[in-house]
Amino acid sequence: MPQIAQLMEVYGSQFFWLLIVIGIIYFFIAKNMVPKISKTVDDRQKRITDDLAAAQSAQDRAEQIEEDYRTSINNAKSDAVSKVNEAKAGAAKKNEAAVKRADTSIAKKAEEADAALKAATATALTEIESVAAEAAKDIVATVSGTKVTAAQAKKAVKAAF
């Protein structure tokens, strides 16, 4: 076959032109395409770096806002606790004063009631003594028929009490 016989003669020149075309394509890509691709890769890397920096900045801001929020919440809680404690202390003082006034009032009323009771007891005893003296005088007059004076009857009743 004649085509196979020519192959060795044409092979060298075809290989030479193949290398020339590949070299031209390589230099064309190296001069025109590689800088564009490199620029695109660099731009993408810069955008990623900038986005990461912006995200870090936003996260730092968010953490600062959260810390400020927690601080304000803690301050509000401590203020509320102190106000509640102050209110409790004020209420305790008012209650203590009210209890003291009530104790004083009750003690005064108890003293008045005690004095009234003593006066009533004394009055009752006096009345009982006078009634007992009259009864004793009448009993002695009825039983023995002797007359006893009111003073003697009172003296006998007081001795009995």
Tokens of 22: 């590949």
Over residues 45-52, mean pLDDT: 97
Q: Using pLDDT thresholds of 50, 70 and 90, give the confidence band for residue 119.
A: very high
The answer, yes or no, to whether residue 4 has pLDDT greater than 80, is no
In this prediction, residue 139 carries a pLDDT of 82
Percent of the chain with pLDDT over 90: 61
In this prediction, residue 3 carries a pLDDT of 67
The answer, yes or no, to whether residue 59 has pLDDT greater than 90, is yes
Q: Using pLDDT thresholds of 50, 70 and 90, give the confidence band for residue 76.
A: very high
Distant-in-sequence, close-in-space partners of 150: CB < 8 Å, separation ≥ 6: 133, 134, 137
CB 157 within 8 A of CB 125: no
Q: How far apart are CA 69 and CA 65, in angstroms?
A: 6
Neighbours of 140 (CB within 10 A): 16
Q: Using pLDDT thresholds of 50, 70 and 90, give the confidence band for residue 111.
A: very high
pTM metric for this prediction: 0.44
